[in-house]
């Protein structure tokens, strides 16, 4: 049974950094693209970034380009999201998600809350 578990969320001041992790188990992690999606009450669900199975292709939401970096360590079955220069509007629950059984987001983590506040 494939499972994704996020960690690393918390409260951080504006302008500071935070790194999220997503640990995968029960799947051949190195075979699948991985995505980050965030959710706020105001904006709903918002796709953030994707990294291909081997890390060679990466795409970002425009509003996080230059501030967020998605990466993966296939030897550790772990996805990362390095978030720098955090802003109040980055406050959200962050989910990792992956197309495992279908080409769509059929597996999701439980989410980790990031709160950007002074």
Partner 1 sequence: IQLTQSPSSLSASVGDRVTITCRASQGISSFLAWYQQKPGKAPKLLIYAASTLQSGVPSRFSGSGSGTDFTLTISSLQPEDFATYYCQQLSSYPHTFGGGTKVGIK
Per-residue contact flags (x/-) with partner 1 for residues 1 to 40, judged by CB under 8 A: ----------------------------------x-----
Give the single-character DSSP code of 65.
T
> Is residue 104 close enough to count as binding partner 1 by CB under 8 A?
yes
Residues 33-52 that bind partner 1 (CB under 8 A): 35, 44-47, 50
> Is residue 61 close enough to count as binding partner 1 by CB under 8 A?
yes
Rounded-to-integer distance, Cα 57 and Cα 50, Å:
8
Rounded-to-integer distance, Cα 118 and Cα 99, Å:
36
Which residues on neighbouring strands pair with residue 37, listed in sequence order?
47, 95
Rounded-to-integer distance, Cα 41 and Cα 52, Å:
29
By beta-carbon proximity to partner 1, the closer residue of 18 and 100 is 100
By beta-carbon proximity to partner 1, the closer residue of 32 and 95 is 95
Contact range with partner 1 by CB under 8 A, out of 7-15, 16-24, 54-62, 78-86: 54-62
User: Coil, strand or helix: which one is 40?
Assistant: strand
């Amino acid at each position: 049974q494939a499972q994704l578990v996020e960690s690393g969320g918390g409260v951080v001041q504006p302008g500071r950094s935070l790194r999220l992790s997503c640990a995968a188990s029960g799947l051949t992690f190195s075979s699948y693209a991985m995505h980050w999606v965030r959710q706020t009450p105001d904006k709903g669900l918002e796709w953030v970034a994707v990294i291909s199975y081997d890390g060679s292709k990466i795409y970002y939401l425009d509003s996080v380009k230059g501030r967020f970096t998605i990466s993966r360590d296939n030897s550790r079955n772990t996805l990362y999201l390095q978030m720098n220069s955090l802003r109040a509007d980055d406050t959200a629950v962050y989910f990792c998600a992956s197309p495992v059984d279908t080409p769509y987001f059929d597996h999701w983590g439980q989410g980790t809350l990031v709160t950007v506040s002074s």
